[in-house]
Each structure stands twice: as structure tokens, then as C-alpha cells.
Amino acid sequence: MTKTLFITGASSGIGAATARKASDAGWNVALFARSEDKLKEVAHGCASAMVLPGDATSPADLTEAVERAAHQFGGIDAAFANAGRGLNSSGKGAPDEDDIRGMIDLNILGVLWTVGAVLPELKKTKGTLVMTGSAAGKRHIPGSIYGASKWFVHGYAGNMAEEMREWGGRCTVVAPGMVDTPFFESGKPDKLKPEDVADAVMLAIEADPRASVREVFLMPQSM
């Protein structure tokens, strides 16, 4: 029976690359993000895809999307809580309250709402949950609020791994360094590609059931 992967932040970058990798590996993909047009473009390159426009900071949107995907494909075997963002402001001077709230809502609450929506389906399949962490969530960066939000993701992923193992499920955090996506407008020329992170997600969700891949830490080889 074909397995199904639910992906948030699926319209571009890491999420879109993961959708294509999973599709090539024979998975159904349920694509969730705000931009329906971009999701349709990603779905066009996948063999079996479902477009689910919605906001990852909305529990209602996520619950409806998960229910639709489970009904369409007969269940959900893995979920990738990938939606996230950085701060738009430079971080210098007085913090922008709306900017900070927007990032926290997506990077932290969005992960919590995704897990809350998808966990009942994963329990049915003894499935795998993957979260997008960051190299910034593994080291201390002076004053980085974004980094702190990813420390939360790493801690929560470990907590969920312990909870999910009680019923046969698994949880993985994938922690990439700088990735060549619109997320980084500038920076070093040597970056990871979204496909590198997608490979790590596939490693986690296709690992033998006897093995739980708790974390994958990726860094560019050339610095």
C-alpha cells in the first residue's frame, strides 16, 4: 500500500524538494502552505499529490487539511513540520514586536498545531514525525531570537520522540546549516541545497522500523 507524507511549508524550498523526493520514492504527498498557486506548481511535478492551502499558525486549517488528506489517501504515515521563517528586521535597535510575534507564531506555535493535528493519524499508522530544526538551534548565537525558536524545536522533537516510542512512532529533527533558499537573501556562496535536506527527511521516514533516527545534522562541506 502506498504511504502518505503530509508536509507543511510545501510550496517552496525544503518543503517542495521533499515533496518531489518523496513522490519519486513512491509516496503520496499532501502539500500544505498558504500559496495555492505555488502548491499547484509543486504538485504538477509529483505523481500523486494533494494541494491543501492553509495557514500553519491556524489549528483549524491544519486539522481540516489533515482530515482531508487522511480521507483522500486512507491515512497518513509521516508528517514533516517544515513551515518556518526568520526575522525580517535586522535585529539591531529596538525589536519589532509584530515581526517577533509572527516568527514565534510560525516557528513554535505552528509546530505545536501541526503536531496536534497530525498525531492522531500517525498513531493509527505508527508513523514518523519530522521537524525542521537548524544549526542555529544547536549553538548559541549572540542575541538570536530565531536561534532560540529553533532550540525549542530541537527540545520538543526530543520530547515527542520519547512520547511516540510508547506506541511505536518515531520523531526526527533535521538540523541544516545555511540552505540555498529564499530564506537566506544573502550570505556565503557555499550552501546546502534543499535536496540535501530532503534526503535527510527521506532517511528518517524510510528507516527500518527497528531504527529511530532522532536527529540529522547537516552542514555545507565547503566553508
* pLDDT, position 93: 60
> For the segment 169-212, what is each residue's pLDDT rounded down to a tens digit?
999 999 999 998 765 555 555 789 999 999 999 999 999 999 99
> For the segment 116-134, what is each residue's pLDDT rounded down to a tens digit?
999 999 999 999 999 999 9
Give, as one character, the DSSP assignment of residue 109: I
No. of H helices and E strands in the chain? 7, 7
Contact 28, 4 (CB under 8 A): yes
- % of the chain with per-residue pLDDT over 70: 93
* pLDDT, position 188: 57
DSSP H stretches of helix in the chain: 13-24, 36-44, 59-73, 97-104, 110-125, 145-165, 194-205
Among candidates 17, 199, 184, which has minimal Cα distance to 85?
184
CA 59 to chain centre: 16
From CA 67, how far away is CA 152, in angstroms rounded?
27
* pLDDT, position 101: 95
CB-side neighbour CA atoms (13 Å) of 212: 21
The CATH class given to the 4-218 domain equals: alpha beta
Grid cell 527500518 is found at 208
* pLDDT, position 184: 52
Give, as one character, the DSSP assignment of residue 169: -
From CA 191, how far away is CA 112, in angstroms rounded?
29
Active site residues: 146
Phi, psi angles (nearest 5°) of residue 198: -60, -40
73 grid coordinates: 489517501
What mean pLDDT comes out for the span 51-59? 98
pTM across the whole model:
0.93
What are the residue ranges spanned by the domains of the chain? 4-218
